[in-house]
Amino acid sequence: MIRRTLHLLPVLGLSGLVFLGGPSGCAGVVAGGAAAVSVAHDRRTAGTVVEDESIEMKAVAELDRHGISARSHLNVTSYNRSVLICGEVPDEATRQQAEAVVRRVAEVRQVFNEAAILPASTLASRSNDTWLTTRAKTALFNVDGIRDFDPTRVKVVTERGIVYLMGLVSSAEAESVTAAVRSVPGVQKVVRLFEYIDR
């Protein structure tokens, strides 16, 4: 099964909720007001946020079309047109094929292929990952000493206890965020995939 990480789309001027069905079978929710607030705090442009959503949907559709979803459990997340692939695949050939398919999606700048050659994770493991993601996001609200730090600018993805961090951040923000997430009980490892705004 392949799923994309679900986000709020920045649809300005939309009132109420719109439900979107993706090719992965998961449903996304678009909330007009909340999305507008999210864009106001995001360092990506509104256009890039929408583009990231489009990349995720296209990548999942392509992975499914190539039959990869039938033999793998993968998550696809795009942030500033950098795509993270994580999850489990049966062999190296499938791992490489998944990366090649995602690289061909329009507007993708780079791919971080973190897929592991392992049996698909269990439902219990995935539930634990969801819980760790929630706890990691909560920990970001306790980051101190960084002026104007906004935790919503950091994308958190968890797979098998490994927490992947994406976002447009300063070096100081990256250090503080990493320390905060590492302190969360149950986190096995933190992988930083940040783009730095001060380098």
Tens of pLDDT, residue by residue over 109-154, are 999 999 999 999 999 999 999 999 999 999 999 998 888 899 999 9
Q: Is 193:112 a contact under the CB 8 Å cutoff?
A: yes
Rounded Cα gap, residues 195 and 199, in angstroms:
9
pLDDT of residue 30: 38
Q: Is 103:85 a contact under the CB 8 Å cutoff?
A: no
Neighbours of 173 (CB within 10 A): 25
What mean pLDDT is reported for the chain?
86
The average pLDDT across 90-100 equals: 98
Task: Provide the angle, in degrees to the nearest 10, between the axes of the packed helices 46-65 and 32-41.
Answer: 110
Answer whether residue 6 shows pLDDT above 90: no
Higher pLDDT residue, 22 or 79? Answer: 79
Binned at pLDDT 50, 70 and 90, residue 9 comes out as very low
Q: How far is CA 148 from CA 153, 155, 170, in A?
A: 11, 17, 11
Answer whether residue 15 shows pLDDT above 90: no
Architecture of the domain made up of 123-196: 2-Layer Sandwich (3.30)
Closest CA to 188 of 141, 121, 119, 102: 121
Binned at pLDDT 50, 70 and 90, residue 27 comes out as very low
Positions of CATH 3.30.300.130 in the chain: 123-196
